[in-house]
Amino acid sequence: MKHIIYYSFFILCLFLNACDDDKNEPKEDVERPETIAWIEDGMREHYFWREEIKKADALNYNATPETFFASLLSSKDGKKGNPYSYIENISGTTRGAIRSDYTYGFECCLVGFQDNRIGARVLYVLPDSPASSGKLKRGDWIFKINGEYLTNESVETLFGGEAAEFTVAYLDPSDGKLHLSPDVLYIDAARAVEDNPVFHHDIFERAGKKIGYLVYNHFTAGKEDEADDKTYDDELRRLSGDFFDGVDEFILDLRYNNGGLLSSAQLLCAIFTPSDKLDKDFGSLQYKYNDPKTRYYFKVNETLKNGNPTGKNLNLKRLYVLTSSMSASSSEAVINLLDPFMEVIIIGETTVGKNVGSSEYESDDKAWIMHPIICQILNSKGFTDYTDGFKPDYPKGEAFDYDEEGYIEDIPVLCDLGNENERLLKIALALIDGSYTEDQGTRSSHTPVSGKKVISSLDGKATNGVVIDVEP
């Protein structure tokens, strides 16, 4: 009799689970708007936390697409109430790289001061851009546009507009204060500017070692938004087989790199890893939360050539990575994927902590694209727990030093990227040649500034996770 009771209870559980599963399916007795149906069906199929999507009975099928999409998201999606997954209406627009088709051609970090004014410190300037033609340079402070101080309301004018006059400030080492320049910079109207992620490369000779240095600013395969354009990936391959051939050590500068394609991240791993590790499983994409059966494992050796014979593995034992609080997603994936196979030494600031991957899905009417999180990124040891970011082995602010409340304590000099005296690069070179001391790159004697970092222009270019462009 006891067996009959257990058996009946088991059948009852199966029945209840089946009923519960039915509730998680789209409603059949309700006419769903076409876009809403596309969103729900796609999310229930692809979303990483799809098992947490509300039951059909709890969904509002009369909501706007944006509101409906948001109602499907898990609390685990994103940070501080800001989900990584998002949806965008592209009806009547042409998609392209963020601001690359209309820009002055520079990136900056915005600092808020107590008088409600904004100061924009230039991080780098793209070549052949309105900013470079106007003599704007790394380290400049922009305080005025067309004679008006920047404020919270006017700061968007930095990102592109008509021809303008920029008033910049300079830091006087004698008193540690910012002083407005009496001259103005004439910046031409915003226009399309090529944003090559391979921003700068160099070779240094130290202590009998040949040291490679690469500033890589985003994981983008090519110039066009097309799968067959590999211009930038091919440039990496060419550099690995030509310019960097024979290096003993390497410094990879990812401080301004907040994400992009997984395929480009795999390519970097193939270039830097020890040669005997190329055929190993470098990591996996986990498509269902906590379920190893849904993993896609990948190697990196196939990415090195990919039709381009110049690609070469550098067979390194260690890699020095320069980071900032803007380094994210694919930058972090490179650190995580290489870590089991070689020594990865991080210099700079704690990274963002995006350990997830996303993909995009376009509606049949070409009016909407949704970008849900679809997987987590794991290295060969199964490690993926870096949502708090990777902490540096040698912590040092790149553009500022901050106190515990986030206020600026010091404004270090911003040497050009590639200058051996540039703050983070100098530390890496000193570690390599053995001259590093604990006070390397310490604070200057500048007077503290009563300002607080607001945002970086690079935040607008950040991907919501590693962009998954490899076929599982």
Given a contact cutoff of 8 angstroms between Cβ atoms, the answer to whether 344 and 318 are in contact is: yes
- Name the pLDDT band for 13 (thresholds 50, 70, 90): very low
Q: Could you tell me if residue 110 is inside a domain?
A: yes
Q: Write out the chain in H/E/C secondary structure.
A: CHHHHHHHHHHHHHHHHHHHHHHCCCCCCCCCCHHHHHHHHHHHHHCCCHHHCCCHHHCCCCCCHHHHHHHCCCCCCCECCECCCEEEECCCCCCCCCCCCCECCEEEEEEEECCCEEEEEEEEECCCCHHHHCCCCCCCEEEEECCEECECCCHHHHHCCCCEEEEEEEEECCCCEEEEEEEEEEECCCECCCCCCEEEEEEEEECCEEEEEEEECCECCCCCCCCCCCHHHHHHHHHHHCCCCCCCEEEEECCCCCCEEHHHHHHHHHHHCCHHHCCCCCEEEECCCCCHHHEEEECCHHHHHCCCCCCCCCCCCEEEEEECCCCCCHHHHHHHHHCCCCEEEEEECCCCCCCEEECCEECCCCCEEEECEEEEEEECCCCCCCCCCCCCCEECCCCCEECCCCEEEECCCCCCCCCCCCHHHHHHHHHHHCCCCCCCCCCCCCCCCCEEEEEEHHHHHCCCCEECCCCC
Task: Name the band, by pLDDT with cuts 50, 70 and 90, for residue 203.
Answer: very high
For residues 49-65, average pLDDT: 94
Answer yes or no: is 44 within a domain: yes
Report residue 336: phi and psi, to 5°: -70, -40
Nearest to 378 by CA among 278, 288, 446, 258: 288
pLDDT at 117: 78
Asked whether residue 449 is domain-assigned, the answer is no
Q: Looking at the predicted structure, is the pLDDT value of residue 266 above 50?
A: yes
Six-digit token pair at 117? 């004014």
Tokens 């906590």 locate to 290
- 232's CB contacts (< 8 A; 6+ apart) are 196, 197, 198, 220, 221, 222, 223, 264
Max mean pLDDT among 27-36, 196-205, 407-416 falls in 196-205
Task: List CB contacts of 72: < 8 A, sequence separation 6 or more.
Answer: 39, 40, 43, 47, 53, 54, 59
Note the pLDDT of residue 71. Answer: 97
Say whether both 354 and 291 belong to one domain: yes
Q: Which of 461, 438, 419, 428 is nearest to 252 (CA)?
A: 428
Contact 74, 418 (CB under 8 A): no
Supply the pLDDT for residue 156.
85
Same-domain status, 436 and 295: yes
Determine, yes or no, domain membership for 389: yes
Token match 């890699």: residue? 319
The reply to whether 13 and 34 lie within a common domain is: yes
* Residue ranges making up the domain that contains 58: 2-63
In the listed set 153, 187, 221, which residue is the last one of a domain according to the structure?
Answer: 187
Out of 136, 166, 187, pick the residue that ends a domain: 187
Q: What is the pLDDT of residues 86-116, one digit of tens each?
A: 999 987 443 333 356 789 999 998 888 766 7
261 and 375 inside one domain = yes
**Mean pLDDT of the 258-283 span:** 93
The mean per-residue pLDDT over the stretch 159-166 comes to 93
Q: Which residue has the tokens 């998002």?
A: 86
392, 348 contact by CB (below 8 A): yes
Average pLDDT of the chain to the nearest whole number: 86
Q: Above 90 in pLDDT, residue 247?
A: yes
The CATH number covering residue 114 comes to 2.30.42.10
How many residues does the structure list for the chain?
472
For range 129-150, the mean pLDDT: 94
State the pLDDT at residue 429.
97
Does a structural domain hold residue 469? no
pLDDT one-digit tens code per residue, 383-392: 999 999 999 9
Q: How far is Cα 217 from Cα 214, in angstroms, rounded to an integer?
A: 10
Co-location of 383 and 242 in the same domain: yes
Last residue of a domain, one of 140, 167, 187: 187
Question: What mean pLDDT do residues 25-42 have?
Answer: 83
Is 432 inside any structural domain? yes
What is the average pLDDT across 213-239? 89
Tell me whether residue 235 is in a domain: yes
Whole-angstrom distance between the N-terminal and C-terminal Cα of the chain?
A: 50
Residue 87 — φ and ψ, nearest 5°?
A: -130, 145
Both 110 and 202 in a single domain? no
For residue 11, the model assigns a pLDDT of 38
* Average confidence (pLDDT) over 173-180: 75
Q: Phi and psi of 210, rounded to 5°?
A: -95, 120
Are 354 and 421 part of one and the same domain? yes
**Residue 91 to residues 42, 363, 367: CA-CA distances in angstroms?**
19, 10, 4
Burial class (CB in 10 A: 0-12, 13-18, 19+), 261: buried
CATH assignment of the domain containing 427: 3.90.226.10
Query: Facing residues of 284 across strands?
Result: 297, 378
pLDDT in tens, 325-364: 999 999 999 999 999 999 999 999 999 999 999 999 999 9
Q: Work out the angle between the directed axes of helices 262-272 and 231-241 (0-180°, nearest 10).
A: 0
Q: 363-383: per-residue pLDDT in tens?
A: 999 999 999 999 999 999 999
Structure tokens at 254: 């990812």
> Which one, of 352, 362, 300, 347, lies nearest residue 329 by Cα?
352
pLDDT of residue 178: 79
Report whether pLDDT(448) > 80.
no
- Section 381-405 average pLDDT: 86
Q: Are residues 176 and 219 in the same domain?
A: no
Q: Can you give the pLDDT at residue 97?
A: 36
Confidence of residue 234 (pLDDT cuts 50, 70, 90): very high
Q: Are residues 253 and 346 in the same domain?
A: yes
Residues 245, 324, single domain; the answer is yes
Q: Are 247 and 393 within one domain? A: yes
The verdict on residue 461 lying in a domain is: no
Distance CA 342, CA 322 (A): 16
Number of domains within the chain: 3
Residues 125 and 274 in one domain: no
